[in-house]
């Protein structure tokens, strides 16, 4: 089974260009994502929203990764579709470009659970679906997006309404692999970047002071 990764840089277009320059631990955000997913897939495709941003990301990532932008894009969903249509894998993991702490164990689990399903989608602790951190049957996802666009609905949740055979995974499962849910933390602003840097620092150990024992005379 051939597997692919589609990395989305344009989920939040207003911060797209800025995010391309964000670094953590001397590495650009998107390269943290690439390093996490690369061992599990046969190809990686990066989707952005303009030629300008495509050029920015081409300076950041290795040249063997394909960067896609749709000149005629009218919405995020249509540019998402343009990226998917270049994918060769039967199953595709969709990831945000700005999640620097993605767990390889979670990636492995999502692919493992995707066999025979059209989608495997995590749920956050608040029960919301994490549609942009999920594995999809590529062909079925493309069909669902085309149907959604034909109905003039452009959001991802409308796309999910067109899919059947979705397996939602409880946050309880992911807590066993990523107890702090760091995998789902995304960096969109300089404030988020500072939080991410703080998350990299080791937690201080608590020094338990031993009670003084008085010697009996």
State the burial class of residue 214 (Cβ atoms within 10 Å of its Cβ: 0-12, 13-18, 19+).
exposed
Packing angle, helices 29-37 and 104-113, rounded to 10: 50
CA distance 32 to 15: 18
Residues with Cβ within 8 Å of 76's Cβ and at least 6 positions away in sequence, in order, are 10, 11, 13, 49, 154
Strands 166-169 and 119-122: parallel
Q: Which pLDDT value is given to residue 64? A: 87
pLDDT tens readout for residues 89-136: 999 999 999 999 999 999 999 999 999 999 999 998 888 899 999 999
All residues at 6 or more sequence positions from 167 whose CB lies less than 8 Å from its CB, including other chains? 113, 114, 117, 119, 120, 121
**Range with lowest mean pLDDT among 7-11, 35-39, 56-60, 183-187:** 7-11
More confident residue, 102 or 64: 102
Using a pLDDT cut of 90, give the percent of the chain over it.
56
Residue 187: name the closest of 6, 5, 60, 31 by CA: 31
Q: Is the pLDDT of residue 56 over 60?
A: yes
Quick check: 19 pLDDT over 90?
no
Parse the chain into domains and list their residue ranges: 3-191
Q: What is the rounded distance in angstroms from the CA atom of residue 69 to the CA atom of residue 81?
A: 10
Give CA–CA dist 193/191, Å, rounded. Answer: 5
Gap between the Cα atoms of 39 and 131, Å rounded:
22
The answer, yes or no, to whether residue 207 has pLDDT greater than 60, is no
Specify whether the CB–CB gap between 67 and 54 falls below 8 A. Answer: yes
Q: What architecture (CATH level 2) is domain 3-191?
A: Alpha-Beta Complex (3.90)
Residue 99: which of 136, 58, 133 has the closest Cα?
133
| pTM (whole model) above 0.85 | yes
**Region 5-15: what's the mean pLDDT?**
75
Is the Cα dihedral 92, 44, 173, 28 positive or negative? negative
Looking at the DSSP assignment, which residues form a beta bridge with residue 81? Answer: none
Q: Which of 44-58, 73-87, 156-170 has the lowest mean pLDDT?
A: 73-87
pLDDT-based confidence at residue 210 (cuts at 50, 70, 90): low
């Amino acid at each position: 089974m051939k597997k692919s990764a589609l990395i989305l840089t344009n989920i939040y277009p207003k911060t797209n260009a800025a995010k391309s320059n964000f670094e953590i631990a001397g590495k650009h955000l998107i390269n943290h994502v690439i390093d996490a997913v690369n061992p599990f897939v046969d190809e990686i495709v990066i989707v952005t929203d303009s030629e300008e941003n495509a050029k920015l990301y081409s300076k950041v990532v290795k040249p063997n990764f394909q960067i896609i932008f749709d000149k005629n894009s009218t919405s995020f969903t249509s540019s998402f579709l343009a990226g998917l249509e270049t994918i060769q894998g039967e199953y595709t993991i969709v990831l945000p470009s700005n999640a620097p702490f993605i767990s390889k164990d979670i990636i492995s689990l999502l692919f493992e659970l995707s066999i025979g399903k059209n989608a495997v989608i995590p749920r956050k602790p608040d029960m919301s679906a994490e549609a942009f951190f999920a594995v999809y049957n590529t062909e079925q996802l493309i069909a669902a997006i085309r149907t959604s666009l034909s109905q003039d609905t452009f959001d991802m949740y409308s796309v999910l309404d067109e899919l059947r055979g979705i397996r939602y995974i409880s946050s309880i499962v992911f807590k066993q692999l990523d107890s702090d849910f760091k995998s789902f933390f995304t960096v969109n602003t300089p404030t988020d970047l500072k939080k991410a840097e703080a998350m990299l620092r080791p937690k201080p150990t608590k020094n338990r002071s031993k009670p003084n024992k008085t010697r009996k005379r």
